[in-house]
Every structure is written in C-alpha cells, then in structure tokens.
Structure 1
Amino acid sequence: MSAREEMLSAIRRANASATDTPVPRDYERRSPHSPSELLDLLTDRLVDYKATVVRVPLSELPTALADAVAPYSPVLVPPDQPWDLDATPDSPALGPHDLDGFAAVVTGCAVACAETGTIALDGGPAQGRRAITLVPDVHVCVVHGSQVVGSVPEMIAALTPTRPITFVSGPSATSDIELQRVEGVHGPRTLIVVLACEWQ
C-alpha cells in the first residue's frame, strides 16, 4: 500500500466512525448595549484600528460624504449608489489597472459589529463588487446606525452565507515582515467610516 492509499484509508475509517455532535448555543448571542452605546463602541474600536470615523445625523450624510471625498480624485462608486457625488460609477469593464487609477471608492455595507469593530460587505445594495474595495487606496464606507449590531453572532445572522462576504476592521495592514506594521498591502491604506443615524 502506498503512502497516499494508507492516508486515504485512514481518513475513510475516521469518517465512517464520525457522529454528529450538537453544537452548544448557550453562549451570549445578543449584546446588552443600547443603540447609542453600540455607536460609541463601534467608533472606539474603529479608531483603535486606525480608521477615521465621522459621525453625523442622517440628514447631514450628503455633506459629510462630499467632505470625506473632497481631497481625492477621481472617486469610484458602485453603479447603484444612492448618493449624489461627483464620481464614476463602477463597470465590469474596469480591470485592476483601471481601478488602481482611482484615488478613493465610496460604498455602503451590509452590517457592522460594534464589539469587534468589524464592517461586513457582501456585494449587496450600494456595495458593488469586491474588487472596488480592495484596489483604490482610500475606502469611504457609509454605515447606517440601523446596520450596527453588538455581537459576532448577530452579525453572522444578518449575513447570507452564499454571498461574497468581506470583513473589514480598519485599514488593510500586516506585521508579517520583521513585526513592522505596514498598511495598504492587501487593500486600502485609509479607511474612512461615515456613521449616519437618526440618533447620536
């Protein structure tokens, strides 16, 4: 018997004797925080991750977005974006080299988790395809207060597992090389979160 056959045989024997074990779900699944506390917690986490957070009432979202992208040009947006910005709508014809020519991208999100400071993108409304949030150097992300949940289980429950999910916790960064933090290696070097809600 070859080493390959021996290993496959061992895997088959292990699979044959495997049984389904119920997963305990008695852990905390909902955050005890109030909506305003969730916004404070999300802001704190994102700032700790070196993101810029701009908190505004919903009525001031257009002005806040215009101010956020003012230093950057050109700006890319998803084709179904609901904001009135001087920006270029994304198109499948734009390849990686084309996307690299944009200074910033503006998107929405699917949900945000306050406890971990994580924003989830799933290619849904106002989010566009995954590539547009990875190539431009600046990502401006609009998060509505109603999209902020407290815990990871709440965030996962709000997502559809068959969609292309990307989790964002601050600017792209790595410390793989000599433990020196380098930003912008795997995505945007700058993350600006515009947090808009009916309450503050």
Structure 2
Amino acid sequence: MSSREVVLGRIRRALADVPRTEEPDGVPVPRGYARAHVPSGGPGATAALVDLLAENLADYRAVVHRTGADGLPVLLCRLLAERGTAEVLVPPGLPPWWLAAAGPVRIHDRAASTPAELDRVHSVVTGCAVAIAETGTIVLDGSPDQGRRRITLVPDHHVCVVRVPDQVVASVPQALERLDPVRPLTWISGPSATSDIELDRVEGVHGPRTLEVVLLAQ
C-alpha cells in the first residue's frame, strides 16, 4: 500500500459518520482561543502595544525609528541619504508630503518597469495595511500607498511607514479581520533572510536586505 493510499484511507475513516448532505460550514466550530495575548485596554495599553511592536521588529533585525508628522520628511530624507540612495521608488498613492524634503530622484512604479530596472533602484518607501505587535509583522495589501508586490521585493532597501496607533493590532486574528483576503497580501517579518545553507543566515535572498520601519505617531 502506498503512502497516498494510507492517507486517503485515514481521511475516509474520519469522514465515515459525516452525512453526505452536510455542507462545509454546516456544523459550528467553537473558536474559544485567545484572540490576543496582551492587554487591549486600560491606561498605557496603546503605548505598550506600540512598544511591543518596536521590540519584535528589532528582534527580527528591522531598524525601527519613531517620529511625528513634522519630523517624517526630514527623517526619510536622512535614512535615504545614509544609504547613499540616488533613486527612490515610490508607489502611486504615497502621500507627497512624506518625501517633501529634498532628497533622491523619485522613480514612479510603472507596469512596464522590468525587474532589471527595479533592481537598479536603491530604495523603496511605502506605507502598510496593518502591523502586528505580537509577531513584529508588517502586512502590505497592494493599496495605493504600498504599490505592487514586486516593488517591495526587488530593491535592496525598504522603508515602511506605520501609522501608530491606528494601524497597529495585537495579534494575527485581529489583523485578519482588517485585511481583504482577495488582495495580494505580503507578510513581512524583518528583512528577507534564509538559513538553508549550512545554517548560515544570509539576508537579501528573496527581498530587501535592509528593512527600516518608521512608527509615525498620529
């Protein structure tokens, strides 16, 4: 008997008492698990949630910055200058005032842009859909301030702006409630990395080598 036959046999036995007329959602499944593992209310809860996000982002080797609206343009200009960025890729809906300070040449994403052209761009600046404090994860959904998935996978340096506290949630279940499952979701936990070869960590394998996250206080 093959492994396939063994697996299918187990499935048939498990489904032996299920009526053929039963629909996939016909039987309610209790979901009593905790939706988050950090307090969501009370004094200081919001600040603690943002602090947890910053801590877990840093644990994944992302570089975390904090600023208010007044300081964002200067901060972004400085981060790009420190990388020696000559050209920065911007999605179509990025708020213009984010890059209001003088800085590198802005390259707007075009459908005709080839991977080679995107690879020549030093940095990309985007917003995000949601940030998850418990896992240190940034989620992009292809909205106008984030652009297409490929513009955040090809350039070597990604600066992502998270509006806090509005875009910060405690847990993955809370994030899923905000996200549209039909959109092209990209879940980012730190810079791209792998340890497949002799357990040596190599960064920049299938995405940016450097991820900088700006927590923008609102």
Provide TM-score, normalisation by structure 1.
0.88
Residue 170 of structure 1 is matched in structure 2 by: 190
Moved more, 63-72 or 74-83: 63-72
Q: Check 1:32–1:92 CA distance in 2 against 1; reply closer, same or farther (3 A cut).
A: same
Q: Identify the residue that residue 66 of structure 1 maps to in structure 2.
A: 77
- What is the aligned-residue identity percentage? 54
**Which deviations, in whole Å up to 9, do the C-alpha atoms of 1:149-199 show, x marking residues without a partner?**
11111111111111110100110011100001000001000000011013x
Cα RMSD (Å)? 2.5
Choose the corresponding residue for 1:151, options 149, 171, 184: 171
- Once structures 1 and 2 are overlaid, which stretch shifts more, 98-107 or 78-87? 78-87
SS of the residue corresponding to residue 87 of structure 1 reads: strand
* Match for residue 134 of structure 1 among 153, 177, 202: 153
Structure 2 match to 1:24: 30
Structure 2: how far apart are the matches of 1:18 and 1:87? 62
- Residue of structure 2 aligned with 1:115, choices 134, 158, 164: 134
Cα distance change, pair 27–184 in 1 and its aligned pair in 2 (3 A): same
Q: Which runs of 5+ in 1 are unaligned?
A: none
Q: Distance in 2 between matches of 1:172 and 1:133?
A: 11
Query: Match for residue 102 of structure 2?
Result: none
Q: CA deviation at 1:94?
A: 0.5
TM-score by length of 2: 0.81
Q: How much does 1:23 deviate?
A: 3.0
8 Å Cα contact 1:142/1:195 also seen in 2: yes
